[in-house]
Amino acid sequence: MATRCNDRELLNDWHIVADRAALAGDTPFPTRLLGVDLAIDCRDLRKLEVVRTDTGATLKRAERYGFVWTCLDTPWRDIIYIPEANEADRHLVSGGSIAVKVSGLRAVENFLDMGHFPFIHAGWLGEEPHTEVAPYKVEITDKGEVLATECKFYQPVASPTAKHGFVVDYIYKVIRPYTVALYKSNPIQKERLDVITLFVQPVDEENCIAHPYLCYLKEGMEAATVRSFMQLIFGQDKPILENQVPKRLPLDPRAETPIRADAVSVYYRRWLRDRAVTYGAIPAQS
């Protein structure tokens, strides 16, 4: 049923396949990555194994940031490095892995979009009539990442502890085709940034699992509160994502009409095309 992936960019990269804390000892945990069925065998707690169900082959695996990672082939590069994960004064927690019936590329693109805040996250990340997305900058960094800076948006409740609305500064960074990070000014230590990295597991072309990894400053904030806020927001996005048609992300520039507020999406789609990423996408007609 699920189509197989032929994109080297994805096959030769690491992907999250489980929240480590969710794995119980007794039965293997079934999941799927890029259309390949996997079983995560954790009966021996010291030696967790990721096994392909079709061939029985044991795959490379790693544990980082509280998640289990695997690679279907030989990894070309290491798991992404999150410098903030080394800072002792931050909560470093999963926001809760949630399965979504849409291409993971759509989930990444939604994460990059500010235009929907006043409508989908009304009363939290935006509210009418503050609907304008002010112009922001987008560039491709020397590390080959999509970087959007100078993003500003008026938010009534920007964080779990916000007491009043204010204009929030955002930075977005697409790090890998299915990995995107958001940096947001901390309401107390304004010179420092809270970081949410959204690792998206491409289950198949039209299904994904969002694994949000939260690096929030602890000051004035409980880990459970951060997690609860993340789920409140993501729970609002989920039905919108699951109703997107088509479920895969069209890469043809003529397929869906962007406006200026979508500049980062335009870069993202072009960046995917340049990297020959087609899994979860509707490739552009050449």
- The site for another protein (CB under 8 A) is made up of 19, 21-22, 94, 96-101, 224-225, 227-228, 231-236, 238-239, 242
Instruction: Identify which of residues 188 and 224 has a Cβ nearer to another protein in the complex.
Output: 224
Query: Minimum distance from CB of 181 to another protein (Å)?
Result: 21
Instruction: Match 């030696």 to its residue by tokens.
Output: 47
Query: Minimum distance from CB of 241 to another protein (Å)?
Result: 11
Instruction: Identify which of residues 132 and 242 has a Cβ nearer to another protein in the complex.
Output: 242
Q: Which residues of 204-217 are buried (b: 16+ CB within 10 A; e: fewer)?
A: bbbbbbbbbbbbbb
CA 158 remoteness from chain centre: 19
CB 264 within 8 A of CB 172: yes
Instruction: Identify which of residues 95 and 280 has a Cβ nearer to another protein in the complex.
Output: 95
Query: Minimum distance from CB of 233 to another protein (Å)?
Result: 8
Q: Which residues of 240-273 are buried (b: 16+ CB within 10 A; e: fewer)?
A: ebeebeebbbbbeeeeeeeeebbbbbebbbebbb
| Helix (H) / strand (E) containing 242 | helix 223-242
Round to the nearest angstrom and report the end-to-end CA distance of the chain: 27
110 CB-near residues (< 8 Å, 6+ apart): 116, 237, 240, 241
Query: Minimum distance from CB of 20 to another protein (Å)?
Result: 10
Instruction: Match 């009304």 to its residue by tokens.
Output: 122
Q: What are phi and psi of 163, to 5 degrees?
A: -100, -20
Query: Minimum distance from CB of 156 to another protein (Å)?
Result: 15
Query: Minimum distance from CB of 103 to another protein (Å)?
Result: 16
Instruction: Identify which of residues 21 and 188 has a Cβ nearer to another protein in the complex.
Output: 21
